[in-house]
Amino acid sequence: MTLATDLQRVIHLSPARQNQICFRAEIKQQPGSVAVTLKPTMDFFDQGRTVFNDNDALYSSMVFHTGMTVGSIEQWCLAHGLVYERQDSINLSRRSSDNLGSWFASQRDAMIGHMVGWIEQQRSTNDLFKSYAYDVGKCHRDFTLFSGAVYNDLSNGTTTHVAATANMYWSATGEPVSRRPQETSIHNELKRWLTERSQVFHPQQTAELLALYDLFLNIIEHGARPELVNFSHNNNDYIRITVYE
Amino acid sequence: MNDAWNTFSHTHRSFDTSETVPQSLRNTLWDQAQSSTDLWQPIFLEDADLIRWIYDQSTIPVIDSYKLPNYIDRKNSQLLAPLLIVLPMIYSSEKSNQLHYETGRVYSSLALTAIQQGWQTGFCICFENNTVGNRLKELGIMRQDVHFGSLPFLSIGHHMPTQPWGWAEDIGIDLKGPLKKIKESYITMT
C-alpha cells in the first residue's frame, strides 16, 4: 500500500451522511508527499433524502462532513507519525438565497406573458419568426425549467443546472434541435427582460445571473462542453492537506 | 488499514446502555472538546432518562422509506448510548460554514480517540433539534446563545454483542447498508 492509497481508504471510510458523499477528493502524488484536496459539493447528494429545508443548512451539513474527513486524515497522520500541513478555505459565508426562488415564481407569469407578446410581435415583423409556431404550455414548461435552474445555480454557486437545461436544445446524438436561431433570439430577449429587473438581486448575484445567461446561450449555440460546466457547489471552498512521506 | 477506521465508518446502533463510559476516557474527550470553546459549547450527556427522551424525539417520519419496505415507523437507536456528545455552536451566520467545518474535525478526533480505546461510535442528526435544544436550555445544560445548526449527536458505547452493529432494536431490523452507495469515483488519484 502506498501513502496515496492509504489516504484514499481513510477518505472513503469517513462516516458519510446517510451513505452520501459530500465532497469531491483529489489525491495528487508528488515527490516526497501526497496532496489531498477536498471540495464540498452536492454532486453525489440525494436531496430527496435530506431533512433540511434550505440549501444553506444542507451546505453546512456537507461542510461538517467534509470537516470530519479532514479530522480523520489528521488523526490517521498522527497515529502513523506522519507530518502534514493543512490549508483551509472554508471561510466564505454563503450568499443568501432568500427570496430568489419566490421572486422567480412570482415573475413567471409576467415573464411568459412578456415573451408570448414578444414572439407574436416578431412573427409579424421578423422574417426569422415568420413560420415559428409556439405553444403557450411549452413556454410555461421551458421558462419554469429555466427559472428553476437559475435559482438552483445562483443559490449553489454552480452552473450545472443551467447547463443541463440548455443542453436540452441538443439531441442525444449531439445534433442541435430545430429552431435553434429562434430559441437563441428568444433567450436574448428574456435575458434583456431579466436584466431590467435584476436590481432585486445582490450586485454579485446580478453578475452571476448574466454570466449564467451567457453560458445558457453559449450552450444553445455551441453545445455543452465539459469545461463550461461547474459541478462544485461552491468552487471557492476547499481544504488541502499535504502529507509528507 | 487500521481497524479503527473501519469501525469509524459504521454508525453503530443498539448500544449496551447498562455500561458507563469510564471517567478517564470521558476526561480525555472533554479536554479535546475544550479546544475551541470560543466556537462551541461542549455538552456531554450521560443521564439515561434524558438520553431516552432525546431518542424519543428522533422518530423518522412515516413517509420516509429509506432502506425499509412498507414505510415502517422507527426511531434512531444510535441515540440510545451511554454517552452522547454534541458541540452546539456559538452561532454566527457569517461563520456558519467555518464553524461546521471545525466541529466536523473535532467530532472525528473525539470518535477516533474513543474507538482506539475499544469503544464504538454512532452519529445521528435526525432528531427534533428545536425541541431538544429548548429542553436542554430549560434544564440549564445548554447555553442560550448556542445553536445545533446542522450538527449530529456523537454517541459512544458498545453495541450489544448479540446483535449486528446496525441492529435497530425498536423495529428488529439490521439497518446497516453498504459502506457507501457510490464507490470511490468521487476520489481521483494522479
Mean pLDDT computed over B41-57: 96
The half-sphere exposure of B38 on its side-chain side, counting CA atoms within 13 A, is 2
A60 to chain B, any CB pair closer than 8 A? The answer is: yes
- List, in sequence order, every residue forming a beta bridge with B187; answer none if it has no partner: A25
Q: How far is CA B184 from CA A149, B9, B86, in A?
A: 28, 14, 30
Residue A42 confidence (pLDDT): 66
Q: Which of the four pLDDT bands, split at 50, 70 and 90, describes residue B68?
A: low
Q: What is the dihedral of CA A199, A205, A209, A215, to 10 degrees?
A: 160
Residue A93 confidence (pLDDT): 44
The pLDDT tens digits of the residues spanning B110-121 come to: 999 999 999 999
Q: What single letter denotes the amino acid at residue B87?
A: L
Mean pLDDT computed over A54-68: 79
- Dihedral sign for Cα atoms in the order B4, B8, B11, B14: positive
Q: Over pLDDT 90: what percentage of chain A?
A: 24
Whether pLDDT at A200 is above 80: no
In terms of C-beta density within 10 A (0-12 exposed, 13-18 middle, 19 or more buried), how is residue B110 classed? Answer: buried
Q: How far is CA A196 from CA A134, A206, A211, B177, in A?
A: 25, 10, 15, 51
Q: How far apart are CA B164 and CA B155, in angstroms?
A: 17
Q: Which of the four pLDDT bands, split at 50, 70 and 90, describes residue A135?
A: confident
Partner-chain contact B181 A8, CB within 8 Å: no
A37-46, A208-217, B51-60, B70-79: which has the minimum mean pLDDT? A37-46
Mutate to test the interface with B, among A5, A19, A39, A238 (most CBs of B within 10 A): A19
Q: What single letter denotes the amino acid at residue A54?
A: D
All residues at 6 or more sequence positions from B30 whose CB lies less than 8 Å from its CB, including other chains: B42, B44
Residue A46 confidence (pLDDT): 53
* Number of helices followed by number of strands (H, E) in chain A: 7, 4
Q: What cell numbers appear for A185 in the block?
A: 433570439
SS3 content of chain B, % helix, strand, coil (to 5): 40, 15, 45
DSSP state of B168: E
Partner-chain contact B177 A19, CB within 8 Å: yes
Q: How far is A52 from chain B (nearest CA, A)?
A: 9
What's the pTM? Answer: 0.69
Complex confidence, ipTM: 0.91
Mean pLDDT computed over A187-213: 79
> pLDDT averaged over chain B?
86
Partner-chain contact B96 A72, CB within 8 Å: no
- What residue has cell string 424519543? B56
Top pLDDT among A140 and B113 is at: B113
Q: Mind listing the domains of chain B with CATH numbers?
A: 3-185 (3.40.109.10)
Q: How far is CA A174 from CA A12, A163, A222, B15, B98, in A?
A: 36, 14, 10, 55, 42
Chain A residue at shortest CA distance from B87:
A64
Q: How far is CA A193 from CA A110, A118, A135, A182, in A?
A: 10, 11, 20, 17
In angstroms, how far is CA A180 from the centroid of its own chain? 24
Strands B153-157, B120-124: parallel, antiparallel or unpaired by DSSP?
A: antiparallel
Q: What cell numbers appear for B182 in the block?
A: 457510490
A48 to chain B, any CB pair closer than 8 A? The answer is: no
Please work out, in degrees rounded to the nearest 5, the angle formed at the alpha carbon of residue B54 by the alpha carbons of B42 and A75. Answer: 40
Residue A50 confidence (pLDDT): 46
Q: What single letter denotes the amino acid at residue B17?
A: T
Q: How far is A142 from chain B (nearest CA, A)?
A: 31
Q: How far apart are CA A169 and CA A176, in angstroms?
A: 6
Whether pLDDT at A59 is above 80: no
Mean pLDDT computed over A71-80: 96
Mean pLDDT computed over A173-185: 73
B71 to chain A, any CB pair closer than 8 A? The answer is: no
Mean pLDDT computed over B52-71: 71
Residue A94 confidence (pLDDT): 46
Top pLDDT among A65 and A146 is at: A65
Whether pLDDT at A92 is above 80: no
Q: Which of the four pLDDT bands, split at 50, 70 and 90, describes residue A16?
A: confident
All residues at 6 or more sequence positions from B41 whose CB lies less than 8 Å from its CB, including other chains: B87, B88, B90, B142, B143, B146
A180 phi and psi angles, rounded to 5 deg: -60, -40
Please name the helix (run of DSSP H) or strand (run of DSSP E) that holds residue B156, with its range, or none. Answer: strand B153-157
Mean pLDDT computed over A46-69: 69
Mutate to test the interface with B, among A43, A55, A66, A72 (most CBs of B within 10 A): A72
Residue A229 confidence (pLDDT): 58
Q: How far apart are CA A187 and CA A215, in angstroms?
A: 11
In terms of C-beta density within 10 A (0-12 exposed, 13-18 middle, 19 or more buried), how is residue A193 classed? Answer: middle
Residue A100 confidence (pLDDT): 62
- List, in sequence order, every residue forming a beta bridge with B16; answer none if it has no partner: none
Size of interface A-B (CB pairs under 8 A): 154
All residues at 6 or more sequence positions from A59 whose CB lies less than 8 Å from its CB, including other chains: A40, A42, A94, A156, A233, A234, B97
Mean pLDDT computed over A134-158: 75
Whether pLDDT at A185 is above 70: yes
Residue A96 confidence (pLDDT): 43
A48-62, A142-156, B16-30: which has the minimum mean pLDDT? A48-62
- What residue has cell string 472538546? B33
